[in-house]
Structure 1
Amino acid sequence: MSDRPVPVGALLRATAPDRLPEVTAEHLRRHFAADRVEVLVADLTLRRLAPLLDAPGTDQDAAALRCLASQRPGTGNGPAGTRLHLPLSCWGERLGVLRVDLPARPDPEQAEQLRIVADELAVAIRAADRMTDRYRRAQCSQRLTMAAELQWDLLPGRSLGDERFQLGGQLEPAYDVRGDHFDWALSQDRLTITVLNGAGEGLDAALLTATAVNAMRNARRCGADIVEQAELASDALHARYGGGLHAATLLLEIDLVGGWVDAVDAGSPQCMVGRGGEINQVRLEQQLPLGMFGEAHYEIERFRLEPGDRLLVVSDGVHAAAPGGGPTFGESGLFTALRATRLQPATEAVGTVMRGLREFHAGAEPEDDAVTVCLDWRR
């Protein structure tokens, strides 16, 4: 190192939101003698990485993709001596990878300082996302439909986690998602998850779902339980659409201490639990979709997770997919795909399920959009 590093967090907080990669690269060149630096952001499918400092395009660095998937730093040979890959993640949200070429392998103290740089950059990018289009633009390899733009902007993120749990979610087709959506919120020891399937097509379905999501958020942020959240959203949708359109929704509230799950099943999303080598569907009493009738009332059902359990929720675009009118994915391919995720973290499991769904369609265009959400409860 040429001199002692100044706090990179202070530098980033004083930087314009669209200049975070350049300031980070200069910091690494000055204080760590970095030969080359690249900030790679994950695209919407989490299958590609796009550079922010080099020319726009897709980066083919396989080691960087492994770092994104594993969320562990990687060290190997590079053009200048050593190439280091560091995950860019914030509260479990996988944003991308910081790639640094150094003249020599870093010692433990330098490695820890570099990890801190990556962490500070991830938090800064997450905070800057609402104030610049630079990072969103790099995420997209093609133009989103208007419905997809609305849905992606409404998401809470694509992953979340701490020492108690890991949570991942994915929407597909990423650039043409319509009424399917997921939402979550963490408050002390309570984790709320909702998966929705808004009726209709295109922007109409997206607007329906946006109304339901924001109504549930409004209730939740005032301290309401999932019954009140469902009832407020149902009333809002019925007032707007008169029962002509509705949103099939599964609401879950998980006690991260005891493992108890409160559930309101208001439609088509299905819930499964993986325990040991077995995967079983959670049988819930299906209640009315949100917005179907005015002043609808909902009831909570309960089941319990055990430490190490995996909870999976899929929309009907997953379990009911039936290209060509044959057997559904839920009947013939879903559980095979789920078993293939057994050794994967929740953030990778959602991608494996969606990959299985794409293979099931065998190149045919899906008739419906799809959501998969996966929670690993560690306790």
Structure 2
Amino acid sequence: MTQEPKGILIVDDDQDMRELLERRLRRWDLDVVSAENGVDALEVLEREGIQLMITDWMMPEMDGLELCRAIRSRAFSRYIYIILLTGKAERHELVEGIEAGADDFIVKPFKKEELHVRIRAGMRMIQFERQKETAIQALRKKNLELEQAGATIRAHLEAAGKLQQAMLPLDVEHLGGVHFESLFVPCEYVAGDMFNYFELSDTKIAFFLLDVAGHGVPAAMQSVTISKVMNPLTLRARKAPTESSGEVKTRLLNFQDPAELAASLNRMFMGPKTGTQYFTMIYGVIDTEKNRVQFVQAGHPSLILLKSDGELKAIGEGGYPIGLLPKATYFAIELDVAPGDRIFIHSDGITDCRDANRKSFGFERLHEILSAKRQCSMRETLETIHRELISWTESATLEDDLSIVAMEFK
């Protein structure tokens, strides 16, 4: 609880008036300090932490109004409550005193009861100012603590973001005659998107891109968990539950069969059982001997096939997200590829990207870019998509994670 202020400064060039005020104030158990004029009063205020002052209006060297102005112009660390003692009672004179910085008036001659009431009012105001300052200091301390906590969280998120990006494959990689390029732009420090491409055998290459529902840390943690399950270093040891005749059994994930793998992941990451978020995905297997691609679409944007002659096809009608429906079934889609063909898989952060009028970037604009850049390198194509999205949103920060994997058959 804030202690009630007791120190009062009396400023008056009339010694009798000073002594009269001192006697009365000391009877009220108040500590009194006196000064003969405004110059001496300023010295006292600089030296002592007094917050309540009664000053005469008419004084030599520096009168009461000048003293008020001097106090208000100085950067005191505390508020000083000023009661102006005066024989002037005209309205314009009271206005002049208030404009100079006085808080209250006592008009001579005054009664001790009136003096007591006005001093009590001044003390309440000083207490309020002290409480306000205490609250401000507490708020500043709390803000500093929050800033420090925020800095720590940002540092942790930045580290998590770097760790997540380190789990991604190289931006440019050649596997079994297939040239891969990728682009990954989180909308926050970490992303719910994840992708990878890796060899299953001498003639089989797997690729996937997944997008966990939501944003931020929960989505990122889910995406990392899934990517660990689908990591080529652990795919031989990773098991997934299946239901057969009412019994739960386990078997190895079948990375050779996209539809079967999607079904296994759906059982593994079913939300009501695991408390995790659903996700969309395209997972595919490239047979480099047969020049054939087999993939599954699980609620994800369609795979885009750009033929060497410039023909563009969006392949796939949707499918069910993984971890959303327990009885969802998945079907593999097959397509043949030839040297010079390109395949693109991407997150909906591209097509759902909105401009200032909330209009989506859309599939048509994406397809136009891919067709227009057919003769360019895939890196230039991906960077063009990124630039066009920034131009579309008129912002360097997108609302959703952006990820895209491109592959060209040599």
TM-score, normalization by structure 1: 0.56
CA distance in 2, matches of 1:324, 1:241: 40
1:297 aligned residue: 329
CA distance in 1, matches of 2:340, 2:310: 12
CA-to-aligned-CA distance 1:175-203 (integer Å, 9 cap, x gap)? 63410111111131111111111112211
**Is the counterpart of residue 310 in structure 1 residue 348 in structure 2?**
no
Indicate how the Cα distance of structure 1 residues 232 and 292 shifts in structure 2: closer, same or farther if over 3 A, else same: same
Task: For residue 203 of structure 1, give the secondary structure of its aligned residue in structure 2.
Answer: helix
CA distance in 2, matches of 1:257, 1:320: 36
**Is the counterpart of residue 338 in structure 1 residue 351 in structure 2?**
no
Task: For residue 362 of structure 2, give the secondary structure of its aligned residue in structure 1.
Answer: helix
CA distance in 1, matches of 2:396, 2:277: 28
Alignment counterpart, residue 350 of structure 1, candidates 352, 377, 382 = 382
CA distance in 2, matches of 1:327, 1:234: 33
**Is the counterpart of residue 278 in structure 1 residue 328 in structure 2?**
no
**Is the counterpart of residue 216 in structure 1 residue 230 in structure 2?**
yes
CA distance in 2, matches of 1:157, 1:241: 34
CA-to-aligned-CA distance 1:219-252 (integer Å, 9 cap, x gap)? 8445533233222322222167657620111111
Identity percentage over the alignment?
25
Task: For residue 323 of structure 1, give the secondary structure of its aligned residue in structure 2.
Answer: coil
C-alpha contact 1:238 1:294 (8 A) present in aligned 2 = yes
* Cα RMSD (Å): 2.8
Indicate how the Cα distance of structure 1 residues 254 and 164 shifts in structure 2: closer, same or farther if over 3 A, else same: same
CA distance in 2, matches of 1:373, 1:250: 11
Alignment counterpart, residue 189 of structure 1, candidates 200, 203, 220 = 203
CA distance in 2, matches of 1:368, 1:257: 37
Indicate how the Cα distance of structure 1 residues 146 and 198 shifts in structure 2: closer, same or farther if over 3 A, else same: farther
The 5-angstrom pairing of residues 11-90 of structure 1 reads: none
Indicate how the Cα distance of structure 1 residues 167 and 204 shifts in structure 2: closer, same or farther if over 3 A, else same: same
Deviation at 1:214, TM superposition (A): 2.1
CA-to-aligned-CA distance 1:93-140 (integer Å, 9 cap, x gap)? xxxxxxxxxxxxxxxxxxxxxxxxxxxxxxxxxxxxxxxxxxxxxxxx
Task: For residue 145 of structure 1, give the secondary structure of its aligned residue in structure 2.
Answer: helix
C-alpha contact 2:190 2:217 (8 A) present in aligned 1 = no
2:400 aligned residue: 368
2:320 aligned residue: 288
Task: For residue 217 of structure 1, give the secondary structure of its aligned residue in structure 2.
Answer: coil
Q: Structure 2 stretches of 5 or more lacking a match?
A: 1-154, 237-251
C-alpha contact 2:191 2:219 (8 A) present in aligned 1 = yes
Task: For residue 335 of structure 2, give the secondary structure of its aligned residue in structure 1.
Answer: strand
Compare relative contact order (CA 8 Å, sep 6+) and give the higher one, 1 or 2.
1
The 5-angstrom pairing of residues 117-132 of structure 1 reads: none
CA distance in 1, matches of 2:352, 2:280: 14
CA-to-aligned-CA distance 1:338-365 (integer Å, 9 cap, x gap)? 1343223334432222222222222263
CA distance in 2, matches of 1:203, 1:256: 37
CA distance in 2, matches of 1:208, 1:318: 21
Alignment counterpart, residue 204 of structure 1, candidates 214, 218, 243 = 218
Amino acid at match of 1:288: Y
CA distance in 2, matches of 1:346, 1:170: 10
Indicate how the Cα distance of structure 1 residues 293 and 331 shifts in structure 2: closer, same or farther if over 3 A, else same: closer
CA distance in 1, matches of 2:391, 2:311: 21
Amino acid at match of 1:260: R
1:166 aligned residue: 179
Larger radius of gyration: 2
Aligned residues: 237
Alignment counterpart, residue 257 of structure 1, candidates 282, 285, 289 = 289
CA distance in 2, matches of 1:177, 1:340: 32
CA-to-aligned-CA distance 1:14-40 (integer Å, 9 cap, x gap)? xxxxxxxxxxxxxxxxxxxxxxxxxxx
Alignment counterpart, residue 260 of structure 2, candidates 194, 210, 228 = 228
Indicate how the Cα distance of structure 1 residues 239 and 319 shifts in structure 2: closer, same or farther if over 3 A, else same: closer
